[in-house]
């Protein structure tokens, strides 16, 4: 069986084919691999900016980029420059966003277990919103504010009891979840009443995040239905539907656009008579297909009548998603973008682990060989951000490309970095 070339919609917006080879942002990616080495994350800056602008046009200035999907100072600045707020879920994400120069008022602090130190850092900086996740956090905010901090604006995170069609680990809106206050249990109503009356916080809205990599926008409609009574009862000004819009990773998949997603959400709010400001927190939909990963093929191992293993110079340390969620990816050769892909191989990494698989059944051109640069598209979300140092493999650099220029925004880790924290 032969598979066609890599589908265009899985590549970044500015991708083009020149002399059979892949260019992004007007630059030949094989030359980028030569200049910066592999593995390498290449982000199409124009693509990132377009998705941010689309989100702002669709939702208005209440839309926040979920930094967990991919964060560096350059990315934080880019999202903010394009008019987005930023969702930060830990003290670390908060720190990077502030270091990048994003005003604290544009930051929304998340997290199901915010520490006193994280809350103090957020209130010292003056974050725009805190999304409250638990009764213990309500206690902690009161404690921190009593110690002399200004009362924050808060949204209460409600767990709407909606089952989003996605991987079990990515579902967050079901009753059995560590996130938010359940509706069915009455916790959401109790939390809302408490936040409303507490002098340590100013309740402005309600929040729900039902899960990630969600294709059926109707799930969001259901979540809004669950939030509507709270908005009416407390006359709240803001409703945040979280993030979660899915993206296409492999041939045959298509996903709603950010605009389509926003339209569904806006129409659901209208039909429930909600006039509150609509906020959202897309992460993956902004960054996933903006980037590709480039690897060098190092070993091709044919096991007669079983399979061919193709080992590259990265692996689960730069893309843990296949191991964690059994996520599918495509692979292709940037030297032959339009080539038919007639050979099925298992693309694996260099980690000491049999499960270190990047693409379980990858269709690649028949003449693939050691030394080739191999490209996996749609790796802009939750690859770099969930990367690790397993086996002391160095984390790859990140390059932003735009209009014929390459800009290194995260350098490659060095062996010295590996011992820097040892004491
Ligand atoms: N808002 C909240 C409160 C979230 O928890 C998340 C993601 C987002 C927004 C952004 O969701 P997105 O638009 O990116 O789907 N590591 C997993 C994804 C975990 C998402 C966690 N929360 C993966 O690689 O698929």
Residue 337, preceding bond cis, omega within 30 degrees?
Answer: no
Residue 175, pLDDT score: 76
For residue 172, the CA-to-ligand 1 centroid distance in Å is: 9
Residue 108 and residue 125 in contact, taking contact as beta carbons nearer than 8 Å? no
Interatomic CA distance for residues 401 and 3, integer angstroms: 29
pLDDT at position 58 is 98
Q: Which atom of ligand 1 is nearest to the CA of 385?
A: 16
Nearest to 141 by CA among 126, 127, 151, 128: 151
Contact present, 342 and 330 (Cβ < 8 Å): no
pLDDT at 171 (0 to 100): 63
CA dihedral 9, 326, 381, 133 (to 10 degrees): 130
Coil vs helix vs strand at 48: helix
Domain boundaries, the chain: 8-43+292-419, 45-287
What are the pocket residues of ligand 1 if the criterion is a CB atom closer than 6 Å to any ligand atom?
A: 66, 68-69, 87, 110, 170, 209, 212-213, 242-245, 281-285, 321, 325, 382, 386
Q: Identify the pLDDT of residue 327.
A: 98
Task: Determine which helix (DSSP H) or strand (DSSP E) holds 130, and give its type and residue range.
Answer: strand 129-132
- CA-based torsion, 29, 367, 6, 166: positive or negative: negative
Q: Do domains 8-43+292-419 and 45-287 have the same CATH topology?
A: no
Please list the ranges in the chain whose pLDDT falls under 70: 165-174
pLDDT of residue 214: 94
Q: Which two tokens stand for residue 238?
A: 């803001």
Mean confidence (pLDDT) of the chain = 96
Check: CB of residue 368 under 8 Å from CB of residue 298. no
Amino acid 162: pLDDT: 84
- 352 included as an active-site residue: yes
Active-site annotation holder among 52, 269, 352, 375: 352
Sign of CA dihedral 198, 200, 204, 208: negative
**Is 3.40.50.300 the CATH number for 8-43+292-419?**
no
Of 6, 28, 100, nearest to 404 by C-alpha is 28
Q: How far is CA 372 from CA 1, 36, 316, in A?
A: 23, 15, 20
Probe residue for ligand 1, chosen from 159, 217, 243, 358 as the CB with the greatest number of ligand atoms within 8 Å: 243
Kindly state the tokens that stand for 284: 């993956």
> What is the reported pLDDT for 173?
64
Listed in sequence order, the residues at least 6 apart from 422 whose beta carbon sits closer than 8 Å to its beta carbon are none
CA distances from residue 177 to 33, 71, 92, 239, 242 in whole angstroms, order as listed = 42, 25, 23, 21, 16
CATH class of the region 45-287: alpha beta
Q: What is the pLDDT of residue 266?
A: 97
């Amino acid at each position: 069986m032969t598979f066609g070339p890599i589908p265009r919609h899985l590549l970044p917006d500015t991708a083009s084919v020149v002399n059979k080879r892949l260019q992004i942002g007007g630059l030949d990616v094989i030359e980028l691999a030569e200049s910066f080495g592999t593995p390498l994350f290449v982000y199409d800056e124009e693509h990132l900016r377009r998705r941010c602008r689309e989100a702002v046009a669709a939702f208005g200035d209440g839309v926040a980029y979920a930094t967990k999907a991919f964060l560096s100072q350059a990315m934080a600045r880019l999202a903010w420059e394009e008019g987005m707020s930023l969702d930060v879920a830990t003290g670390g994400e908060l720190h990077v966003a502030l270091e990048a120069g994003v005003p604290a008022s544009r930051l929304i602090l998340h997290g199901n277990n915010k520490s006193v130190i994280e809350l103090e850092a957020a209130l010292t900086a003056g974050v725009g919103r805190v999304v409250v996740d638990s009764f213990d956090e309500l206690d902690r905010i009161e404690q921190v504010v009593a110690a002399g901090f200004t009362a924050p604006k808060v949204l209460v995170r409600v767990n709407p009891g909606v089952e989003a069609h996605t991987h079990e680990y990515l579902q967050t809106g079901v009753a059995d979840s560590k996130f938010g206050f359940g509706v069915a249990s009455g916790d959401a109503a109790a939390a809302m009443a408490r936040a409303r009356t507490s002098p340590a916080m100013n309740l402005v809205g309600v929040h729900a995040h039902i899960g990630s990599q969600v294709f059926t926008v109707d799930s969001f409609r259901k979540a809004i239905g669950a939030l509507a009574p709270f908005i009416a009862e407390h006359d709240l000004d803001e409703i945040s539907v979280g993030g979660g819009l899915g993206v296409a990773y492999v041939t045959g998949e298509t996903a709603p656009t950010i605009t389509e997603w926003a339209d569904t959400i806006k129409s659901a709010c209208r039909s429930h008579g909600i006039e509150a400001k609509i906020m959202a927190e897309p992460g993956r939909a902004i960054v996933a297909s903006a980037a590709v990963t480039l690897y060098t093929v190092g070993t091709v191992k044919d096991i007669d009548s079983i399979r061919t293993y193709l080992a590259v110079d990265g692996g689960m340390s730069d893309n843990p998603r296949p191991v964690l969620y059994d996520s599918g990816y495509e692979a292709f050769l940037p030297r032959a973008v339009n080539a038919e892909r007639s050979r099925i191989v298992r693309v694996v990494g260099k980690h000491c682990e049999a499960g270190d698989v990047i693409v379980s059944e990858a269709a690649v051109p028949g003449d693939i060989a050691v030394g080739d640069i191999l490209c996996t598209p749609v790796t802009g979300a939750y690859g770099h951000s969930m990367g690790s140092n397993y086996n002391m493999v160095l984390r790859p650099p990140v390059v932003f490309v735009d209009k014929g220029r390459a800009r290194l925004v995260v350098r490659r880790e060095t062996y010295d970095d590996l011992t820097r924290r040892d004491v």
